[in-house]
Amino acid sequence: SAIPTIRLNDGNAMPQFGYGVWRVSNEEAAAAVGEAIKAGYRSVDTAAIYGNEEGVGEAIRAASVSRDELFITTKVWNNNHGYDNTLRAFDESLGRLQLDFVDLYLIHWPVAGSDAYRDTWRALIKLKQDGRARSIGVSNFMVEHLRRLIDETGVTPAVNQIELHPRFQQKELRAFHAANGIATESWSPLGQGSLVTDETLAGIGRKYGKTPAQVILRWHLDNGLVVIPKSVTPSRMRENIDVFDFKLDADDMRVIEGLDDKGGRVGPDPAVFG
Ligand code: NAD
């Protein structure tokens, strides 16, 4: 069934469900993204550092759906912060993707110990004004970083893409996003696969004839989050997108809320990473 969209603070629509391609090689990316598009995915999350923008672009050109039906995200890496560097890095990403615009351009990390992300953000504002990035946002930003961008430029990111899954629920940051009109996008939504063997989630799934992965993805959707699971296995790609025919009940939501763990990160901490 059709993938729901959410309305971003700049008026654009973003699919609430997409396909992440971290650790998919450039060689396998064209086939994997092609397979995902066939399975019904319309949004792809890549990044300059993933090294697979060319493969993603190849799949877009080969796809049977038009560019307008796709939502493509990429990100500027940590070594290209600053106004001029970011504009150059963006041109290089578009060149590798062979696109003339992306739907969403993100600052990949704030980079601990540097405040160059503010000039990076000014470059993204310019790219949005020029229409080459339809929407602009950030990734791995903490409240203090978001506050500085908003205070210094008056432009609120449309999206903050952050580590988020049942074992690391980011409630404080989500509350700040909600108060400021920032959409929350969950990376490593399955805890990099570590949550798919969880017995509590399996038990909930049995009620609906769904797998733990499907329960987790439904939990993201029912929380209003944008979610971008990754798999290169076609059967799992199809399993992961098959979550639009059920809804978790209030009890399920409460039980999953109970899995939250302050120490539950699977990825780097933005307070120290960079
Ligand atoms: P994920 O939580 O999506 O888990 C992916 C792994 O889970 C797969 O490699 C596979 O081993 C397993 N898996 C997937 N579907 C399954 C299924 N149905 N059944 C059983 N196992 C399954 O992890 P991820 O790839 O880290 O995150 C998703 C995407 O988020 C990435 O591809 C990337 O696009 C994005 N991301 C962004 C950042 C960032 O800093 N902005 C960091 C990490 C990931």
Three-state DSSP string of 199-236: HHHHHHHHHHCCCHHHHHHHHHHHCCCEECCCCCCHHH
- What is the mean pLDDT of the segment spanning 221-231? 98
pLDDT(241) > 80: yes
Binding residue numbers for substrate = 108
Answer whether 202 contacts ligand 1 (Cβ < 6 A). Answer: no
Tokens of 105: 């351009």
Contact 138, 111 (CB under 8 A): no
pLDDT(195) > 90: yes
Please tell me what DSSP assigns to residue 136: E
Distance (Å, whole) CA 21 – CA 52: 8
Distance (Å, whole) CA 149 – CA 78: 17
Model's pTM, two decimal places?
Answer: 0.98
DSSP letters, 24-36, are --HHHHHHHHHHH
- Evaluate whether ipTM surpasses 0.90: yes
- What is the mean pLDDT of the segment spanning 144-160? 98
- What is the mean pLDDT of the segment spanning 232-247? 98
Q: What domains sit in the chain, N to C, each tagged with a CATH number?
A: 5-192 (3.20.20.100)
Tell me the pLDDT tens digit for each residue of 9-19.
999 999 999 99
How sure is the predictor about 6, in pLDDT bands with cuts at 50, 70 and 90? very high
Q: Other C-beta atoms within 10 Å of 183: how many?
A: 23
Report the percentage of the chain scoring pLDDT > 90: 99
SS3 content of the chain, % helix, strand, coil (to 5): 45, 15, 40
- The mean of the pLDDT values for the chain is 98
Answer whether 167 contacts ligand 1 (Cβ < 6 A). Answer: no
Q: Quick one: which atom of ligand 1 is closest to the CA of 186?
A: 30
Please tell me what DSSP assigns to residue 131: T
Tell me the pLDDT tens digit for each residue of 85-141.
999 999 999 999 999 999 999 999 999 999 999 999 999 999 999 999 999 999 999
Report the percentage of the chain scoring pLDDT > 70: 100
Tell me the pLDDT tens digit for each residue of 30-79.
999 999 999 999 999 999 999 999 999 999 999 999 999 999 999 999 99
For residue 259, give the amino acid letter.
Answer: L
Q: Other C-beta atoms within 10 Å of 207: how many?
A: 13
How sure is the predictor about 2, in pLDDT bands with cuts at 50, 70 and 90? confident
Q: Which residues are catalytic?
A: 50
Specify the residue with its C-alpha closest to ligand 1, atom 36. 187
HSE on the CB side for 28, CA within 13 Å?
Answer: 11
Please tell me what DSSP assigns to residue 154: S
Residue 233 Cα distances to 3, 31, 32, angstroms: 20, 11, 8
Closest C-alpha among 272, 23, 270 to residue 170 = 270
**pLDDT given for residue 1 in this prediction:** 57
92 C-alpha to ligand 1 centroid (Å):
25
Answer whether 77 contacts ligand 1 (Cβ < 6 A). Answer: no
Tokens of 224: 């209003």
Q: Other C-beta atoms within 10 Å of 273: how many?
A: 13
